Amino acid sequence: MTLADKQYLTISQLTQYIATKFEKDPYLHQVYVTGEISNFRKRPKHQYFSLKDDGAVLSSVMFSGAFNQLKFDLEDGMKVLAVGRVGVFNKSGNYQLYIEHLEPDGVGALYQKYEQLKQALTAEGLFDFEHKPIPRFPKNIAIVTSPSGAVIRDIMTTVKRRYPIVQLTLYPTAVQGQYAANQIVENLRRIEASGNYDTVILGRGGGSIEDLWPFNEEKVVRAVSNMTIPVISSVGHETDTTLVDFVSDQRAATPTAAAEIATPVLAEELIRIQELQAKLYRAQANRLQYLNQRLLEQKNAYVFQQPLRLYEGHQLKLKNLVNRLAQAENNVLQDRIQKFNQATNRLNQLSPQLNIQRYKSQVDYLANQLKQGQVNQLTTQQYKVQNLMAQLDLLSPLKRMSSGFAYVTSKQGTVHSIQQVDIGDQLSVQFADGKISAQIMGIDKKQIIKK
């Protein structure tokens, strides 16, 4: 493949690819750097300058929103602590620091370093552990502190007063300065390796954060965390807190408090031992008295006086079992008889003879119902016929003729009106008791009876 066959990127594409790499790197989203201000010239809005140290220079940008929050004036040569993100400015192809927070270097740097390490160790879970119990009656206590400070004197005085039988071993250690952290770690390792100590007291008096800084060093914190021997931390005043306090098994506000935590009061323990001893004697005496009483009761028990009575309980139990067995057999027999009777009843209910008898009863019942229905129907019809005959009788011409009416007919048929006849026509008049023939001699229409 020749160079002409290669896929070439534009400068913008390559720069954008590099910028994307910066954006996706989680370690560049928020960085903490310290350096010296260089090439600073205050501008109306955004500020552009450099941060440098002896070995490198880093272009930096601080937008107006963050810059206006500053409570001090920036100057060239000022050493500062900066928090921000690293990105690429595409037009020039330069990477630069976009500063979000800025403060002068000094004590603030130590506080910031303290918080950063505390957050990292918390996220790691170093502070989430099960605290080891402090031994109640130690034999040997190791003390890691300065041999010339007030800490060792306070501890020795308190221990001598409270628990003088314990062995105290001082591991002389620098508790501030550049060598302090290494000495603390080394002495803790020596104590752990010896395996002769019940408790470790890590102590120092009060001071500034710079003075107490060895107890915030990560290697010191991890060394304390790795101890299998319980560690009591007594660093600084009561209001001071170091990272060592978070990994110690117990924190004491003062060296005297640390000594009190590490040791009991011997006089009190002796009194308690005497009380427990007296209590033990009383308990043993009461126990012996109780056992003697039990022994006497056993000797006087009827079992030893009448050994045969040992079997009375078993005989009674056997009798009860025999009765229960007989009762169980009777219950089983009764249950079987009941089941047999139930099966017999079910079988009888399924017998054809019973079905025939049941069906015959049904037929007899239905026949009686049919017969009764016929009688009822005949009676009803007779009653209807009688009613119809009575109605027909009321409508009969003979019934009417018996009251003086007659049935008149001519050759044309029944005569209902004088309009149907003329003078001289022959009529037939039917009465209830006979019929006569008549001839019309005259017609008087005025006497027509209107219905």
Write down the pLDDT at residue 2: 59
Alpha carbon 435 to its chain centroid, in Å, reads 118
Report all structural domains of the chain as residue ranges with CATH numbers, in order of start. Answer: 11-105 (2.40.50.140), 132-264 (3.40.50.261), 401-444 (no CATH)
Beta strands in 222-369 (DSSP E): 231-235, 250-251
Residue keyed to tokens 């400068």: 11
The secondary structure of 107-137 as a DSSP string is HHHHHHHHHHHHHHHHHHTTT--PPPPPPSS
The answer to whether 105 touches 35, Cβ cutoff 8 Å, is no
Tokens at 181, concatenated: 């952290």
The parts of the chain modelled with pLDDT lower than 50 are: 448-451
Question: Cα(149)–Cα(206) distance, rounded to whole angstroms?
Answer: 11
pTM of the predicted structure, to 2 decimals: 0.45
Tell which residue, 58, 76, 57, 71, has the closest CA to residue 101. 71
DSSP-derived pairing of the beta strands 199-204 and 250-251: unpaired
Question: Cα(427)–Cα(431) distance, rounded to whole angstroms?
Answer: 13
Helices (H), 125-205: 150-162, 180-194
Write down the pLDDT at residue 400: 67
Write down the pLDDT at residue 91: 81
Question: Cα(189)–Cα(174) distance, rounded to whole angstroms?
Answer: 15
Q: Which amino acid is at 75?
A: E
Question: Cα(402)–Cα(393) distance, rounded to whole angstroms?
Answer: 12
Write down the pLDDT at residue 451: 43
The secondary structure of 42-61 as a DSSP string is --SSSEEEEEE-SS-EEEEE
* C-beta neighbour count of 390 within 10 angstroms: 9
Write down the pLDDT at residue 450: 47
